[in-house]
């Protein structure tokens, strides 16, 4: 029996992790930190209806051509050749503009739900490509780091964007993440627009060294070495002015025992890597929250482990 509606969830993700700009991504497993998407068939041919509820829903556009989930749905419906429409209800657990892959989660959950609803049998790489179209609309840049992690889970490396090649690695069991989400907004478009168009050779060498160190830490099952790789001399200095207190927050995370710390994606969240055998993730998260408080910014501490990717959680049949 073919399904009449499918519900899927996709996790929050953190991109970059220091020097891996547009290349590294990790899926985050933390209670309530995911988007849930319900998709059902409707009669009107080609029509896409969008409803949005939850965290920051009031700021999310409902027009399908401006909504991440709407764009993914439109493209998948075209691809399928089906002569009906789709209604999509997005329940946001991840605040938009948090640096935690909010739009990627909506896009990933929508792609996974429609794939099952319309029995499209897409490969994971096709799912990422469709989900990335939604990201392109919201972030204005064709990066696939968040959507890849949101679909595949665990830690991913974008080996190539065109054509898309993604590697997935499992992180050490003792790798955890302390995150702090401040009550400030960072305009994702601005966070990309202010990036340097050219990079000098010494910065390139620095960043390659750091990114390689992060991956070497994974290969060596050593969280401390991974943490040494979470440094970036190109992107983070350009974005730092958008996050008041960033240097204090980073300093406090390291003092509280974090192995490494960086802006999460385009910010304003800050993510610290913690070796759970050496420090308490909650302690690091609280230390970062206190540092934001000291500069007058409220924030939400979050603890997460690397987690699974998007999945279908419910199917109703006709």
110 counts as catalytic? no
49 counts as catalytic? no
Region from 37-45, 140-148, 179-187, 221-229 binding ligand HSE, contact rule CB under 6 A = 140-148
Q: How far is the CB of 4 from ligand HSE (least distance, A)?
A: 34
- Return the residue matching tokens 């802006």: 263
Q: Residue 266 interacts with ligand HSE (CB under 6 A)?
A: yes
Q: Classify each residue of 5-32 as buried b or exposed e, where b means 16 or more C-beta atoms within 10 Å of its C-beta.
A: bbbbbbbbbbbbbbbbbbbbbbbbbbee
Query: Is the separation of the CB atoms in 28 and 14 below 8 Å?
Result: yes
Q: Residue 137 interacts with ligand HSE (CB under 6 A)?
A: no
Q: Report d(CA 111, CA 113) in Å as an integer.
A: 6
Q: How far is the CB of 103 from ligand HSE (least distance, A)?
A: 9
Of residues 6, 9, 12, 15, which one binds ligand HSE by CB under 6 A? 15
Q: Report d(CA 261, CA 265) in Å as an integer.
A: 12
Interaction mask 18-47, ligand HSE, x per CB under 6 A: ---xx-------------------------
Q: Which of 40, 55, 116, 135 is catalytic?
A: 135
Q: What is the DSSP letter of 212?
A: H
- Return the residue matching tokens 């070495």: 225
Of residues 192, 228, 280, 311, which one binds ligand HSE by CB under 6 A? 192
Q: How far is the CB of 121 from ligand HSE (least distance, A)?
A: 29
Q: Residue 265 interacts with ligand HSE (CB under 6 A)?
A: yes
Q: Report d(CA 55, CA 12) in Å as an integer.
A: 13
Q: Please work out the total of residues on this chain that contact ligand HSE, with binding judged by CB under 6 A.
A: 11
For residue 109, cis peptide bond before it (omega within 30 degrees of 0): no
Q: Residue 185 interacts with ligand HSE (CB under 6 A)?
A: no
Q: Residue 16 interacts with ligand HSE (CB under 6 A)?
A: yes
Q: Report d(CA 276, CA 256) in Å as an integer.
A: 12
Q: How many residues does the chain have?
A: 318
Q: Residue 146 interacts with ligand HSE (CB under 6 A)?
A: yes
Q: Report d(CA 182, CA 258) in Å as an integer.
A: 19
Binding site for ligand HSE (CB under 6 A): 15-16, 21-22, 99, 143, 145-146, 192, 265-266
Q: What residues are labeled active site?
A: 135, 188
């Amino acid at each position: 029996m073919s399904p009449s509606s499918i519900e899927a969830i996709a996790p929050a993700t953190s991109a970059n992790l220091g020097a891996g700009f547009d290349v590294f991504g990790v899926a985050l497993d933390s209670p309530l930190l995911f988007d849930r998407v319900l998709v059902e068939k409707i009669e009107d041919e080609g029509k896409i209806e969008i409803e949005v509820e939850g965290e920051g829903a009031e700021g999310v556009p409902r027009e399908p051509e401006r909504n991440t989930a709407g764009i993914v749905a439109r493209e998948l419906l075209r691809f399928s050749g089906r002569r009906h429409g789709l209604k999509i209800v997005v329940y946001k657990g991840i605040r938009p503009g948090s640096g935690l892959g909010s739009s990627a989660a909506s896009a990933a959950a929508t792609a996974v739900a429609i794939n099952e609803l319309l029995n499209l049998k897409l490969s994971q790489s096709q799912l990422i490509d469709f989900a990335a179209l939604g990201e392109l609309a919201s972030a204005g840049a064709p990066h696939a780091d968040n959507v890849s992690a949101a679909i595949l889970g665990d830690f991913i490396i974008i080996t190539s964007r065109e054509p898309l090649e993604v590697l997935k690695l499992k992180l050490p069991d003792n790798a955890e993440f302390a995150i702090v989400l401040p009550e400030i907004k960072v305009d994702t478009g601005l966070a990309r627009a202010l990036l340097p168009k050219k990079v000098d050779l010494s910065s390139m060498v620095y960043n390659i060294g750091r990114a390689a160190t992060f991956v070497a830490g994974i290969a060596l099952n050593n969280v401390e070495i991974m943490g040494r790789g979470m440094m970036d001399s190109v992107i983070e200095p350009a974005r730092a002015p958008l996050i008041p207190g960033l240097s204090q927050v980073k300093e406090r995370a390291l003092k509280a025992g974090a192995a490494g710390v960086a802006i999460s994606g385009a910010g304003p969240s800050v993510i610290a890597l913690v070796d759970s055998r050496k420090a308490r993730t909650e302690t690091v998260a609280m230390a970062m929250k206190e540092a934001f408080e000291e500069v007058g910014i409220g924030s939400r501490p979050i603890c997460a482990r690397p987690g699974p990717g998007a999945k279908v959680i419910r199917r109703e049949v006709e």
